[in-house]
Chain A
């Protein structure tokens, strides 16, 4: 297994640690606009990633062509000692898992008619992307690890247009079955018409799973130990046990539940763990090197130098989505362009889009349009009032991390408009 990589490893003697990885992605992508297909794309990528370390010097290289061993050796000789160096895990296991999936034929043979028929059948004109992806991750290390993992996923998003109104929905799955529901949700949301103007001020808002997905992609960035040591996160002075969110909030990194990764880039087996549990901070995301610096253990989230999340879950609650809309709230279907004024404070704004519905006494009174949430992420976490029992696994262009996301009611959110 991984003979090609083992041969490269064999040619890189004389270092303290060496890893050779190969990331192969085969993807079939359908881009559609107004329920017509713009383009079918078949994208094949294959990169070999080499990491060599000796003492406090390291080099990481990535190539889509043949590996040039001499270039690796030459470059290594001229790099300086580094303040942070990666460490591979003491894992000498052989590991292989190959997921079988009918999605393989979709990629190889272009069997996309069932997908196209769903898109063509949308009530309102629909635009979006469908991605069918085969991911092969291989990794061998000088510590004896030899891993191979083949996985399939389907994700996509649909934006349905009803004149000037629109609705959007997304999914991430191991098959294409959620597409039908995504088209249905986008159409339902697009059908809510009428306008209402709201002024700048504080409002109770219900965030849809898409908005939660967008903010959780950012939250995973703030949870990376790298962004703590570089003081680029509002979690920089938080310690395990500190209460940093409403007790309703449990946020976890869930590579196993989502099936996204079996081992990380340092050959640590991945596992699911809470970052926040019932409002209490539990852990950052670590790789070996950041764990060593911060006197703890890796959480299996390497990323060389920078730990990353492989997928997030916001734990669902116990009440229905409908019940969240029962008072005076603004329901926000979707958002984009989240930008931070200050990473230390988590101060940001994000622009709402698609269906942004004002509810008065539980009844929809109109679409508020492209308002802006202008607030602090830590404050939103503390002001979570309720979380729905319904949740969806979503991923889309502006929420790129697969996220299991419910609807969330947050009190007193600062809203502005242009």
Chain B
């Protein structure tokens, strides 16, 4: 039986997509310098999503022959789909280095772990866990009009979790690396050096960190912080299905409900893009899971609402075309409107120029807690590596400053962004059943004026 046979089986439906979706993956665990096991998984299967006037139906199974229509009559929420032209085609990410054995990979990460544990720092490193994860995702899609799409994306991820304790304070933090490609990515990331710098920096915070004074201050958010803001405060609320209420019982609605395209929600320095076509990115694809060609989307342009992330069903309700944002994480998950690689555009300033005219402020380099409300308005960042800025100079480390405010306050207070652009790996969650998908998030260093800083008030 082939995917085309499933299409014929669902011929009563106007819209039919059938997908073969295979993911193979291997995990290596290293705990405190010692190997702690290997897991190998194969997650292969099939799905069909079919729509007609009164029914949207999704069926999935490891066996193609299981996919069969159910007789249903519903008060259907979906009313139609946009009349976009599908694109047959394929996209494949190559592994430049694919001949490294599992043993060599294991040894590499054991060495990294041992070297980090031997770092001379004043705090005790009580735990250092490395999880290495490699996967290959392969998709074949066939649609009711005969369009066929093939995609193959290998990915590498490394998650490092560290617990540190000094006489004065403790910290637990994660550092994640991810991208599409082969083992060559691990060399590019220079994991050991990155972690060495971070551990030393956190050690400085734990031993020498000063208390924070609350009040309005100028803040410089690092590339990492601008990345999380791009993803969470802009990307998610710009998912069209969320604006329509499709996720209203799960992750909630969006602050864009009731707003108009062109409306200003940030300063002119704010430009946010989602682009799935970035080579070797975690969110890479060239044709989406509804057969629509992928492209970069300008979500916010010079502070104004410009474009939402759309699939064919949300596009129908908005009266626009899909911009190729539908993705499913595995065979037993429906395609949803998803981010890919979401980032603030860099500007013309240097980092030194951002800092030089701040009299009393904070440089927040990394964070340890972050969350946001279900309208994507109220959010909170608790700094991990954070430093005071005094008279235009980066100064002493600070103990865990808290920034809590609204998306509109933050986006409007960005008065300058520097000329750097860095990306960070993330697993983006959405939907029920939950779909975690790999993404990048990134941006430049950004200066925010007059932001409310709080002290952890319950200590």
Q: Which A positions have Cβ atoms within 8 angstroms of B?
A: 29, 31-47, 58-65, 71, 75, 78-85, 110, 112, 116, 120, 127-129, 157-159, 161, 168, 200, 202, 230-232, 305, 336-345, 347-351, 353, 370, 372, 374-376, 379, 397-398, 414, 416-418
Contact = CB atoms under 8 A, between A and B. Distances in A.
Contact of A62 (B32, B40, B74, B129): B40
B375 A62 contact: no
A414 B70 contact: no
A58 B36 CA distance: 9
Interface of B is mostly: strand
A320 to B, nearest CB: 29
Contact of A78 (B102, B163, B251, B404): B102
A49 B39 CA distance: 10
Interface in B245-293: 245-246, 248-252
Contacts of A397: 249-250, 432, 434
A374 B171 CA distance: 17
A110 B70 contact: yes
B378 A62 contact: no
A85 B61 CA distance: 33
A338 to B, nearest CB: 7
Given A37-B74, A416-B457, A232 B58 contact: no
B373 A351 contact: yes
Contacts of A347: 369, 456
B34 A83 contact: yes
A342 B172 contact: yes
Given A83-B36, A159-B249, 18 more contacts: A33-B77, A40-B58, A41-B433, A42-B60, A59-B39, A61-B40, A61-B41, A64-B44, A79-B35, A82-B36, A110-B70, A120-B75, A127-B245, A129-B250, A230-B163, A231-B127, A336-B374, A397-B432
B62 A65 contact: yes
B35 to A, nearest CB: 4
B69 to A, nearest CB: 10
29 contacts: A36-B75, A37-B76, A39-B78, A40-B74, A44-B66, A46-B62, A62-B40, A63-B41, A63-B42, A65-B44, A79-B37, A83-B35, A129-B249, A230-B31, A231-B126, A232-B172, A337-B371, A339-B370, A340-B172, A344-B163, A344-B165, A350-B371, A374-B457, A375-B458, A376-B458, A416-B404, A416-B454, A416-B457, A418-B405
A135 to B, nearest CB: 14
Nearest to B331: A64
A45 B21 CA distance: 13
A49 B377 CA distance: 43
Contacts of A43: 58-60, 332, 433
Contacts of A42: 57-60, 70
B343 interface: no
Contacts of B126: 231
A62 B42 contact: yes
A266 to B, nearest CB: 14
A305 B30 CA distance: 13
Interface string B107-144: 00010000000000000001101000000000000000
A93 to B, nearest CB: 27
Q: Which 8 pairs, one residue from A and one from B, show the smallest C-beta to C-beta distance?
A: A418-B378, A83-B34, A414-B458, A127-B249, A36-B77, A370-B373, A337-B371, A110-B70
Interface residues of B, number: 79
Interface in B35-77: 35-45, 55-62, 66, 70-72, 74-77
Residue of B31, B37, B400, B458 with highest tally of chain A CB at under 10 A: B37
Contacts of A46: 62
A305 B57 contact: no
Nearest to A29: B433
A370 B377 contact: yes
B450 interface: no
A31 B49 CA distance: 14
A336 B371 CA distance: 9
A38 B44 contact: no
Given A39-B56, A45-B332, A232-B163, A60 B37 contact: yes
A305 B32 CA distance: 15
B38 A370 contact: no
Contacts of B248: 33-34, 127, 159, 161
Contact of B72 (A40, A81, A128, A338): A40
A94 to B, nearest CB: 27
A80 B35 contact: yes
B416 to A, nearest CB: 23
A115 to B, nearest CB: 11
Given A33-B77, A65-B44, A110-B71, A414 B457 contact: yes
A232 B159 CA distance: 15
Given A79-B102, A80-B106, A350-B371, A64 B42 contact: yes
Nearest to A72: B40
A418 B377 contact: yes
B368 interface: yes
Contacts of A305: 29, 36-37
Nearest to A34: B245
A40 B57 contact: yes
A110 B74 CA distance: 12
A342 B458 contact: no
Contacts of B127: 230-232
B58 A39 contact: yes
Contacts of B311: none
A128 B249 contact: yes
B34 A340 contact: no
Contacts of A376: 458
A82 B70 contact: no
Nearest to A86: B37
A350 B252 CA distance: 15
B172 A344 contact: yes
A232 B334 CA distance: 34
A60 B27 CA distance: 10
A406 B78 CA distance: 37
A39 B57 contact: yes
B372 A337 contact: yes
Given A40-B70, A418-B404, A343 B172 contact: yes
Contacts of A158: 249
A84 B38 CA distance: 11
B245 A341 contact: no
A157 B168 CA distance: 44
Contacts of B31: 83-84, 230
B58 A353 contact: no
B432 A31 contact: yes
